[in-house]
């Protein structure tokens, strides 16, 4: 069931679209250019007659709700606000009802004060998925039940498929037999035998089509493979046609009692088909930007991403610039940027800052607009002069050497300890750390060759003497011949989020109140070098900073200079104490 409602959002009226946990409905509303609103917890599109008719044509059953008190507090002088969504096609009717022409009035059933209507949606792995109309008492009771949790992404409750949990949930909701008696058992994946079918992909010879059984555990693992993407046309996953991926699929099938059917031609798989890490990140970034963009603005964002790819920009820059530009287009109702004047741009930026936009995000927005107007539109005759939001000064967090030792001691896994110690001992960025190859470590010279770091620049950093023996022992034990820290799947690097999780757990065990991440180790590396008397220029080269101004921030963090400075209050108190002592001595 789909519900629509007139809402006031982003300085304009919109059609709010609400429905439960349903991926098919989600894809349909996206086809209409709908965008998710965190404020109203619904999808929304522009409040137009054409959009309303398209929704009626797409969804057979639509419930039209009366609008809530969400109109602007002070409308423009002389403007008339109509709170009826049906006014798009019909004159206003009594009771603010939303009635399309030729149809009977919709009656919106109001739930009882102490009851909640629940609806069973589907089965996902170990869980039943249900959606429940909001009721504070019932929601608290459900979340207090063991085996029930709230899925924030899909706005639904996940219920563990167990008889005891089923009985408790149905008693709380007052709806017996709501959940099917399809209970989860530990050997379910083996009991539900199936096949993993691997076939050649005609459109891309370096890819292979992988058809999976409807098992959530299997699908979730395959989705995490490097370069994995789902093809709706072929109803399968497309993976790199490499021996390592094929071997991973074979192991996945055998571990879960499945059969792997290999229908590939001879010599179809080859290691040269392995996707490059940079290519995978760029493809994923561009795909995400296209998903976030409405069809109305696709032509503008595609032109921008094409130009950034041609300039060989990093995926982080493309993501940041693209996301900021999409926000700008969305707030301008996807108008042609060539028609937007400089005054409108400045007014938009001021409005965003008024809403609490941080200076860093504001500068990123300015950079993205400057890039689009100067590079994509080639507006040489039109210079966009935008005000730069004043950026605040904040010191990066740093931990002491004693706290570093405590973190190392609270990590028992040798691989985890090695990656954290290497992060502190070299000052590498997180991405540089997880993509480190054995060939990049020069053991004889006690150096590490960082290739394609930030800004696609190479540099040399130190390899700590104290870690060489442990690193050599680890190399003899691990099976990876390429990556120093291999990920869960063979042939793939370690995940940056896994390193962050290791650090987070170690910090919690130590009991630090500071917020410390793997990047904090990089800040600590630079600060401790500076305290030891290392020249600032050498630290700049080790960190890979393009400007010395970036490195000078660590001068504000060193204790060496601060400890020598005495507060005037302390000096005043000390002099007063000395004066009293002298007076006592004279009296004696």
Which runs of E-coded beta strand occur in 335-399? none
Counting residues of the chain whose pLDDT is more than 70, the rounded percentage is 84
**Residue 217 scores a pLDDT above 50:** yes
Note whether 53 and 35 are within 8 A (CB): no
d(CA 532, CA 538) in angstroms, rounded, equals 13
Residue 211 known to be catalytic: no
Contacts of 147 (CB under 8 A, 6+ apart): 159, 160, 162, 164, 165
User: Which CATH code is given to the segment(s) 188-275?
Assistant: 3.30.780
Q: Residues 6, 207, 281, 522: which is the catalytic one?
A: 522
How confident is the model over 186-215, as pLDDT tens digits?
544 444 457 899 999 988 888 999 999 888
Strand, helix or coil for residue 307: helix
d(CA 139, CA 133) in angstroms, rounded, equals 9
Q: What is the mean pLDDT of residues 494-503?
A: 89
**Residue 386 scores a pLDDT above 90:** no
Q: Residues 454, 459, 490, 505: which is the catalytic one?
A: 454
Residue 522 known to be catalytic: yes
How confident is the model over 24-49, as pLDDT tens digits?
788 788 888 888 888 888 889 988 88
d(CA 42, CA 23) in angstroms, rounded, equals 14
Kindly state the tokens that stand for 521.
Answer: 């180790």
Residue range 278-376 in CATH 1.50.10.20: no
**Residue 484 scores a pLDDT above 60:** yes
Note whether 129 and 119 are within 8 A (CB): no
**Residue 220 scores a pLDDT above 60:** yes
Residue 393 is predicted with a pLDDT of 60
Helix H or strand E segment including 157: strand 156-160
Instruction: Among 3.40.50.2000, 1.10.540.10, 1.10.1740.10, 1.10.443.10, name the CATH number for the domain at 401-560.
Output: 1.10.443.10
Q: Residues 207, 429, 523, 528: which is the catalytic one?
A: 429
Span of 40-49, 304-313, 326-335, 350-359 with lowest mean pLDDT = 350-359
239-268 burial, b if ≥16 CB within 10 A, otherwise e? bbbbebbbebbeebbeebebebeeeeeeeb
d(CA 305, CA 326) in angstroms, rounded, equals 11
Domain layout of the chain by residue ranges: 2-96, 118-173, 188-275, 278-376, 401-560
Strand, helix or coil for residue 81: coil
Note whether 461 and 427 are within 8 A (CB): yes
| 122 phi and psi angles, rounded to 5 deg | -165, 180
Burial classification of residue 19, based on how many CB atoms lie within 10 Å of its CB (0-12 exposed, 13-18 middle, 19 or more buried) = buried
Q: pLDDT higher for 319 or 31?
A: 319
Kindly state the tokens that stand for 477.
Answer: 């034990």
Q: Residues 106, 437, 475, 519: which is the catalytic one?
A: 519
Residue 344 is predicted with a pLDDT of 84
Q: pLDDT higher for 399 or 182?
A: 399
Residue 519 known to be catalytic: yes
Question: What is the CA 43 to chain-centroid distance, rounded?
Answer: 19
Residue 214 is predicted with a pLDDT of 81
């Amino acid at each position: 069931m789909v519900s629509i409602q007139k809402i006031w959002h982003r300085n304009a009226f919109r059609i709010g679209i609400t429905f439960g946990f349903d991926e098919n409905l989600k894809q349909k509303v996206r086809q209409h250019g709908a965008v998710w609103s965190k404020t109203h917890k619904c999808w929304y599109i522009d409040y137009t007659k054409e959009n309303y008719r398209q929704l009626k044509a797409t969804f057979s059953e639509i419930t039209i709700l009366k609008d809530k008190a969400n109109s602007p507090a002070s409308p423009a002088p002389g403007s008339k606000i109509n709170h009826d969504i049906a006014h798009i096609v019909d004159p206003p009717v009594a009771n603010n009802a939303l009635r399309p022409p030729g149809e009977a009035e919709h009656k919106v059933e109001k739930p009882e004060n102490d009851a909640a209507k629940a609806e069973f949606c589907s089965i996902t792995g170990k869980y039943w998925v249900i959606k429940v109309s909001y009721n504070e008492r019932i929601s608290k009771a459900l979340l207090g039940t063991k085996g029930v949790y709230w899925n924030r992404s899909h706005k639904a409750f996940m219920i563990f498929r167990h008889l005891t949990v089923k009985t408790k949930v149905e008693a709380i909701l007052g709806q017996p037999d709501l959940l099917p008696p399809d209970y989860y058992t530990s050997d379910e994946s083996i009991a539900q035998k199936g096949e993993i079918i691997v076939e050649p992909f005609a459109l891309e010879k370096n890819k292979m089509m992988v058809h999976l059984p409807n098992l959530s555990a299997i699908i979730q693992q395959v989705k995490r493979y490097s370069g994995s993407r789902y093809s709706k046309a072929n109803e399968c996953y497309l993976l790199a046609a490499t021996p390592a991926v094929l071997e991973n699929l074979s192991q996945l099938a055998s571990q879960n009692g499945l059969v792997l059917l290999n229908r590939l031609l001879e010599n179809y798989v080859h290691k040269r088909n392995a996707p490059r890490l940079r290519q995978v990140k760029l493809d994923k970034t561009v795909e995400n930007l296209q998903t976030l963009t409405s069809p109305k603005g696709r032509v503008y964002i595609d032109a921008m991403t094409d130009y950034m790819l041609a300039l060989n920009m990093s995926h982080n820059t493309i993501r940041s610039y693209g996301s900021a530009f999409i926000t700008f287009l969305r707030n301008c109702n996807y108008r042609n940027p060539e028609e937007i004047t400089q005054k409108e741009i400045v007014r938009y930026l001021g409005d965003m800052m008024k809403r609490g936009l941080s200076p860093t995000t504001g500068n990123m927005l300015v950079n993205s607009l400057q890039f689009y107007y100067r590079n994509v539109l080639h507006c040489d005759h039109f210079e966009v002069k935008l005000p730069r939001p004043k950026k605040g000064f904040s010191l990066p967090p740093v931990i002491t050497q004693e706290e570093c030792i405590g973190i190392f001691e609270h990590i028992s896994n040798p691989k985890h300890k090695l990656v954290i110690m290497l992060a502190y001992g070299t000052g590498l960025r997180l991405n540089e750390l997880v993509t480190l190859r054995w060939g990049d470590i020069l053991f004889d010279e006690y150096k590490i060759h960082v290739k394609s770091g930030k800004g696609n620049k190479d540099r040399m950093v130190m390899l700590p003497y104290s870690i060489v023996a442990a690193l050599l022992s680890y190399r003899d034990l691990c099976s990876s011949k390429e990556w120093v820290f291999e990920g869960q799947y063979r042939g793939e690097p370690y995940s940056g989020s896994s390193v962050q999780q290791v650090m987070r757990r170690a910090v919690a065990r130590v009991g630090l109140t500071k917020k410390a991440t793997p990047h904090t180790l990089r800040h600590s590396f630079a600060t401790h070098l500076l305290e030891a008397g290392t020249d600032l220029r050498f630290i700049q080269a080790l960190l890979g900073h393009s400007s010395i101004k970036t490195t000078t921030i660590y001068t504000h963090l060193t204790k060496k200079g601060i400890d020598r400075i005495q507060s005037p209050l302390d000096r005043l108190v000390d002099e007063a104490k000395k004066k009293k002592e002298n007076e006592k001595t004279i009296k004696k």
